[in-house]
Amino acid sequence: MSEPGGLFGGIFGRGADAGGADTSDAAWLQAMLDTEAALARALERAGLAAPGAGAAVTAAATAANFDPAELGRQAALTGNPVPALVRALSARLPEPAAAAVHQGATSQDIIDTAMMLLARAALDAVLARLGAAAAAAARLAAAHRDTVMTGRTLLQQAVPVTFGLVAAGWLTGIDEARTALAAVRRERLAVQFGGAAGTLASLGDAGPRVAALLAGELGLAEPVLPWHTNRVRITELAAVLATASAAAGKIARDVTLLAQTEVGEVREGGGDPAGRGGPGGPGRGGSSAMPHKRNPVAAVATLGCTRQVPGLLATLTAAAEQEHQRAAGAWHAEWQPLSALLRLTATAASWCADLLAGLEVDAGAMRANLDAAGGLPLAEHVATVLAARLGRLAAHDLVAEAAARSASTGRPFRDELAGDERVGAAGLTASQIDAALEPSGYLGAAAELVDRALAAHEQAESKLAGHAPGDRATGPAAGPGVSPEAVRKK
């Protein structure tokens, strides 16, 4: 229901066109078929299948040839859909090609390798969309390097910051997540091929050679061992997805807060200007009941995705405790959560990129909110200035008392300070107080930090550029394999 094309797909399962990840039945089926086809080609190259078998299997291995519902029914008999798929695929082929299907493999080899193929496509989607998000965040950081706003801790105004620094923080989180995603994409996606219990015994002594050829065909790494019940790859994959989701969620949370009616410092752009809810419908962010509303839909949708992720991560991590040579349930419990995690992370990344690309920033509102606090966010600055004269704790307490008086009397903080005789005794003049209360004079290293973040982003970009999505040839085990698509189309 949450996949592209489903009732909730627009929110939780953006399609490939919007940078999403496809984990539909068709995508799963094709990934399993791609694995079977690559295996047939590998067997042929190893001399274990008849010449032409690889191409014949590849030609037949198209998802449209098979009925997911029927395979699903039969899967209930064996606990997974592979045996029925193997029979159906074999039935479409004459001998000797049919004999090459699934040779040496066990169901888990096919499903796990298919998961790796789905994961690779999803990681590419996430990387692409987070790349766009990072670019947008970098633009915001540069454009607002010196835009003063209030910092907020525990949802209370604290001291001044810049919106550039806020955006730089978002940027850094995204880039760290991208670095981690790219590392898993590059190093941890491996073929699974071990046969019934990991020895590849049915291939005699040819097993490792076929495994290497299969890895090459698919552009996946060849692992040291079959990893049927060593699920470290899965937990690592899940973890970087969850980290990416968390980075997007932090941004979306900030945007919902900054976009509050009473804050109004940012608002979402309308996205596709033509994007309206059907004839007469509202644009993005409209409400069915409240015609004036402009809801932060992209941020809300991002959070709607990211809030589902920690539970899925827990499920996948718990499922890593797998028995002996194949787990009784824990393995099966991975398929749906991993699909959801791939889909939700890609969709969250997609929403987040849209959000950042269209974000409208109201520098005037930022300044107005800061000014409305009557100088209180500069209390620390005044305390710092006074500390040199009175000692840190005495200065802190003096300022806290003036702030408290201001809050209870409604008299401006500035006046409470100026009227405190200890301030006068310390030799601080009214104009020095005013200077201490000017936000732009108390930004510390904000601009320098923005510059550092932008420089780090450029470095990250150049590192990540070497691992661009689709650039499979850079994988550690990439081989000269025939492209499945190429063969199938012949």
Q: List C-alpha distances in Å: 186 to 62, 219, 393, 471.
A: 27, 11, 53, 10
20 binding its own copies? (CB under 8 A): no
For tokens 């749906």, the residue is 336
Contacts of 199 (CB under 8 A, 6+ apart): 207
340 binding its own copies? (CB under 8 A): yes
Q: Are 353 and 137 in contact (CB under 8 A)?
A: no
Distance CA 131, CA 333 (A): 31
The nearer residue to its own copies, 421 or 473, going by C-beta atoms, is 421
Q: Are 158 and 166 in contact (CB under 8 A)?
A: no
Q: List C-alpha distances in Å: 120 to 5, 281, 306, 399, 485.
A: 21, 37, 20, 56, 16
- Pure H helices in 219-320: 232-258, 297-306, 309-318
The nearer residue to its own copies, 55 or 98, going by C-beta atoms, is 98
93: nearest Cα among 58, 142, 44: 58
Distance CA 147, CA 467 (A): 35
Residue 107 Cβ, how far from its own copies at the closest point, in Å? 5
- The DSSP output letter for 158 is E
78 binding its own copies? (CB under 8 A): yes
Active site residue 287: yes
**Could you say which of 61, 71, 89, 122 contacts its own copies (CB under 8 A)?**
71
Residue 479 Cβ, how far from its own copies at the closest point, in Å? 18
Q: Report 361-390 residues binding its own copies (CB under 8 A).
A: 369, 372-373, 376-377, 379-381, 383-384, 387
Q: Report 241-270 residues binding its own copies (CB under 8 A).
A: 242-243, 246-247, 249-250, 252-254, 256-257, 259-263
Residue 483 Cβ, how far from its own copies at the closest point, in Å? 24
Active site residue 24: no
**Could you say which of 31, 53, 55, 84 contacts its own copies (CB under 8 A)?**
84
10 binding its own copies? (CB under 8 A): yes
335 binding its own copies? (CB under 8 A): yes
Q: Report 109-148 residues binding its own copies (CB under 8 A).
A: none
Pattern 441-480, its own copies, x by CB under 8 A: -xxxxx-xx--xx--x------------------------
406: nearest Cα among 369, 441, 442, 377: 377
From the candidates 73, 87, 202, 287, give the one annotated as an active-site residue: 287
Contacts of 239 (CB under 8 A, 6+ apart): 313
Q: Are 204 and 286 in contact (CB under 8 A)?
A: no
336 binding its own copies? (CB under 8 A): yes
Q: Report 304-323 residues binding its own copies (CB under 8 A).
A: 304-315, 317-323
Residue 73 Cβ, how far from its own copies at the closest point, in Å? 5
For tokens 């699903």, the residue is 72
281 binding its own copies? (CB under 8 A): yes
Residues making up the chain, counted from first to last: 490
The nearer residue to its own copies, 79 or 489, going by C-beta atoms, is 79
Q: Report 146-175 residues binding its own copies (CB under 8 A).
A: 150-161, 165-166, 168-170, 172-173
Q: How far apart are the first and last CA of the chain?
A: 35
Q: Report 186-245 residues binding its own copies (CB under 8 A).
A: 195-205, 207-208, 224-227, 229-233, 235-236, 239-240, 242-243
CA angle, corner 103, sides to 98 and 105, nearest 5?
Answer: 135
From the candidates 139, 186, 294, 326, give the one annotated as an active-site residue: 326
The residues carrying an active-site annotation are 287, 326
